[in-house]
A and B are shown apart, each in its own frame.
Chain A
Amino acid sequence: MDGETPEAARPEELDAARAAGGHTPEPTRRLPREARRYFVLQALVWTVPVAVAGTLGGGAIGGLGGAALAIAALLVAGVGSVPLPFIRWRRWRYEVREEELDLLRGALVVTRTLIPMTRVQHVDTRRTVISDLFELRAVVVHTAAGSHEIPALRPGEAAAIRDRIAHLARTPDDV
């Protein structure tokens, strides 16, 4: 196991926290280090076109305005290519608890989502050409309202999490 992937909080502690009326404990599990470069590559899909379009557009306009546009586009693309994917990786936390899936994520907009296990309809692992480059898999959880994913996990871990969620979601009550 990766040193940066701490163990999940034990269920007894959670129950104690809930009984005490405290906040739901934050999720603790992190994504593997390979995910950083994977996120960077994913970001390039939009940052490169922005940089190219901004530079060409700026050149076409010319003058001070054109230069400003080109610089702005390069700045946005630069920030979007490396710092943002790294922040995204640093922020990502997830936790598979017996009664819910807890996701915390986002670089500029931080979102925390709780999905009750009884609402999970099915769960997949997904690989793409890009994720294969880094030997990473996504776990995708589907509910009646939509889907959520843990975007980058090592294959063994992804399979284990998928099976655990499938097991926990086995007895839905009523859609």
Chain B
Amino acid sequence: MTSEGDRPPGGPELPQGRPSPPPAGPRRLHPAEIILASLDNARDALIAIVVAVIGAASGSFGAAGLAALAVAGLVVAAVAGYVRWQHTTYEVRGPSLVFRRGVLSPDETAVPLGRVHAIDTSQGPIQRLFGVHELHVQTAGGGARGEIKLRAVTDADAAWLRAAAGLAEPAERELPGWRLGGRRLLVTALTAPQVGMLAPIAGGIAALADNVLGNSGRDLVERAPTDTGSIVLIACALLAGAWLISFAGAIVAFGGFEVVRDGDRLRIRRGVLQRRASSIPVTRVHAVVVVEGILRRPFGLASVRLETAGYRDEPAAAQTLLPLTRLTEVDATLRELVPALAPGTGRLEPPPQRARPRYAIPGVVAALAAGVAATAVWPQAWPALVLLPAMAVAEALGRHRAAGWRLEGGLVLLRGRRLARRTLVARIERLQEHRVRQTILQRRAGFADVAVAVGSGHEGGVRYLEQPTALDLFDRLR
């Protein structure tokens, strides 16, 4: 891997004379790092403290003893935090940014400045208190490994670091872009995709609580009403709880979300408690995915995700380009932000009608087997014999209807559905690989699947195309 080509085209645009020259020699982080490191230590020690407290509670340990223990723990955490801060330094040494940390066996990470493609900032409550930023040095294709995170850096230090890496300062002027308004934020949170995922987790927690509580839990259950209405009520309460957590999570992650196009970069700001700012060179965006979640699709709403090499291990919110948009507005918005990936508004080519049974067969077989097993164990469950296969057929028809592909300029669009309907829009020249696949049964019936992988490691594809169509698509993806 060479470092050429990783620089933003157009070269560094430095505000003349503004950033101070990089200071010579290793530099410590802002002392706010002492607090951050202490909190880290305290959190790590918390488990030990909890164990100690539980142990003490069974013995003859008074409240004073507990307080003393807590204070001692905090003091140790603070001292360790101070020592850690003392031994954490960064400097520009030759062509590299060198980050050094650790007391007994120091670790040194050196990142060639030429490979730095962005320095993202984020600001939590503590950083905001001291007016410092957390810097996240993003490198090309680096993933989470070998990346540098500086947790407390002043504005001036951030400025010379950016200058040293040849990165432009964020434009001060107001740029055209896209902002998530208050009403849309509310709808984003109301329809957050985590809602569906959280219900089973809540159920799991309930089961776990039952195990942990043991006999008292069982008493609780025995005293609990067993009629259907109450069970439904309890389930609703659990769901509401899960949904509330998801709602709050989405507000915290996407509050104040805005994305602007600043020269050859996208700049994204988001977050309520932790304010984050990241920037991504537009050339590095290999694909976008339009996700229509189950709660959003009925209202014609969707979110758009960025697929960027080097961001593979970042949390999902970090890859969001548009948290909530009307499906009909996606093309226009992308035309403004990432014109190379605007998908157009044409229809997708569906898989052939004769493929419909193929989509259904595996699910129906599985559903029948499950129905038979359920009925064998519990004869009253016989409606499952009809209901489960019917659901499987409906699901398969939905997947068949959702599937499709289109070639548009240098783009390939591939759409499929599992729970949410996802449309991958990828630049053909940036595909990591593409493939055509055929089982022996598909071969006999003249079907084939096509799939592609993009730089973030995500894949998209369409199943059961006519074989000549699939081969033709395969050829045109080169």
Answer yes or no: A156 CB below 8 A from chain B CBs: no
| B contact residues around A144 at 8 Å (CB) | 141, 309-310, 312, 432, 455-457
Answer yes or no: B6 CB below 8 A from chain A CBs: yes
B443, B459, B478: the one contacting A110 at CB < 8 Å is: B443
Bound-complex Cα distance A148 to B435 (A): 12
Bound-complex Cα distance A143 to B6 (A): 17
A-B contact number at CB 8 A: 86
Instruction: Assess whether B435 is in contact with A145, with CB atoms less than 8 Å apart.
Output: no
| A contact residues around B455 at 8 Å (CB) | 144-145, 175
Task: Mark each residue of chain A from 98 to 119: 1 if its CB lies under 8 Å from any CB of chain B, else 0.
Answer: 0010000000111111111001
- B412 vs chain A, min Cβ distance (A): 13
Task: Mark each residue of chain B from 421 to 448: 1 if its CB lies under 8 Å from any CB of chain A, else 0.
Answer: 0000000000111111111100100000
Bound-complex Cα distance A89 to B2 (A): 37
Answer yes or no: A24 CB below 8 A from chain B CBs: yes
Answer yes or no: B1 CB below 8 A from chain A CBs: yes
Give the nearest-CB partner of B477 in chain A.
A114
Bound-complex Cα distance A148 to B312 (A): 18
Instruction: Assess whether A145 is in contact with B6, with CB atoms less than 8 Å apart.
Output: no
Instruction: Assess whether B141 is in contact with A146, with CB atoms less than 8 Å apart.
Output: no
Instruction: Assess whether A116 is in contact with B431, with CB atoms less than 8 Å apart.
Output: yes
Answer yes or no: B453 CB below 8 A from chain A CBs: yes
Answer yes or no: B280 CB below 8 A from chain A CBs: no
Instruction: Assess whether B443 is in contact with A121, with CB atoms less than 8 Å apart.
Output: no
Q: Which of A123-175 contact B (CB under 8 A)?
A: 143-146, 148, 171-175
17 more A-B residue pairs beyond the given contacts A144-B309, A148-B433, with a C-beta to C-beta distance below 8 A: A108-B440, A109-B437, A109-B438, A111-B438, A112-B436, A112-B437, A116-B431, A116-B432, A121-B1, A121-B141, A144-B312, A144-B432, A145-B454, A146-B433, A172-B1, A172-B2, A174-B284
| A contact residues around B457 at 8 Å (CB) | 144-146
Chain A interface residue bracket vs B: 20 to 34
Q: Which 10 A-B pairs have the closest CB atoms?
A: A145-B432, A145-B453, A113-B435, A175-B309, A144-B455, A175-B141, A143-B432, A111-B437, A115-B433, A144-B309
Bound-complex Cα distance A112 to B454 (A): 17
Task: Mark each residue of chain B from 448 to 478: 1 if its CB lies under 8 Å from any CB of chain A, else 0.
Answer: 0000011111110000000000010011011
- The number of residues on chain B lying at the interface, defined by a beta carbon within 8 Å of a beta carbon of chain A, is 34
Known interface pairs A24-B475, A144-B141, A175-B140; A114-B443 also in contact (CB < 8 Å) = no
Residues of A within 8 A of B (CB): 23-24, 100, 108-116, 119, 121, 143-146, 148, 171-175
Bound-complex Cα distance A119 to B458 (A): 15
| A contact residues around B436 at 8 Å (CB) | 111-112
Instruction: Assess whether B432 is in contact with A23, with CB atoms less than 8 Å apart.
Output: no
Instruction: Assess whether A145 is in contact with B433, with CB atoms less than 8 Å apart.
Output: yes
| B contact residues around A145 at 8 Å (CB) | 432-433, 453-459
- B415 vs chain A, min Cβ distance (A): 19
Give the nearest-CB partner of A173 in chain B.
B5
Residues of B within 8 A of A (CB): 1-2, 5-6, 140-141, 283-284, 309-310, 312, 431-440, 443, 453-459, 471, 474-475, 477-478
| A contact residues around B438 at 8 Å (CB) | 109-111
| A contact residues around B475 at 8 Å (CB) | 23-24
| B contact residues around A23 at 8 Å (CB) | 471, 475
Bound-complex Cα distance A23 to B477 (A): 12
| A contact residues around B141 at 8 Å (CB) | 121, 144, 175
| B contact residues around A172 at 8 Å (CB) | 1-2, 5
Known interface pairs A24-B474, A24-B478, A174-B284; A113-B433 also in contact (CB < 8 Å) = yes
Known interface pairs A145-B454, A145-B457, A146-B457; A175-B433 also in contact (CB < 8 Å) = no
Bound-complex Cα distance A145 to B443 (A): 27
Instruction: Assess whether B284 is in contact with A111, with CB atoms less than 8 Å apart.
Output: no
Bound-complex Cα distance A145 to B5 (A): 20
- B281 vs chain A, min Cβ distance (A): 9
Query: What are 14 A-to-B residue pairs whose CB atoms are below 8 Å?
Result: A112-B435, A112-B437, A113-B433, A114-B433, A114-B434, A114-B478, A116-B433, A144-B309, A145-B457, A145-B458, A146-B432, A174-B5, A174-B283, A175-B455
- B437 vs chain A, min Cβ distance (A): 5
- A115 vs chain B, min Cβ distance (A): 5
| B contact residues around A116 at 8 Å (CB) | 431-433, 478
- A7 vs chain B, min Cβ distance (A): 22
Give the nearest-CB partner of B435 in chain A.
A113
Instruction: Assess whether B478 is in contact with A100, with CB atoms less than 8 Å apart.
Output: yes
Bound-complex Cα distance A144 to B433 (A): 10
| A contact residues around B284 at 8 Å (CB) | 174-175
Known interface pairs A121-B1, A144-B457, A145-B455; A112-B474 also in contact (CB < 8 Å) = yes
Bound-complex Cα distance A110 to B444 (A): 12
Instruction: Assess whether B310 is in contact with A175, with CB atoms less than 8 Å apart.
Output: yes
Bound-complex Cα distance A41 to B379 (A): 46
- A167 vs chain B, min Cβ distance (A): 14
- A139 vs chain B, min Cβ distance (A): 16
Instruction: Assess whether A146 is in contact with B478, with CB atoms less than 8 Å apart.
Output: no
Bound-complex Cα distance A116 to B283 (A): 18
Bound-complex Cα distance A111 to B461 (A): 13
Instruction: Assess whether B432 is in contact with A115, with CB atoms less than 8 Å apart.
Output: yes
Give the nearest-CB partner of B452 in chain A.
A145
Bound-complex Cα distance A175 to B283 (A): 10
| A contact residues around B6 at 8 Å (CB) | 174
| A contact residues around B140 at 8 Å (CB) | 174-175
Bound-complex Cα distance A131 to B475 (A): 34
- B338 vs chain A, min Cβ distance (A): 15
B5, B435, B459, B471: the one contacting A114 at CB < 8 Å is: B435
Bound-complex Cα distance A22 to B78 (A): 70
| B contact residues around A171 at 8 Å (CB) | 2
- B434 vs chain A, min Cβ distance (A): 6
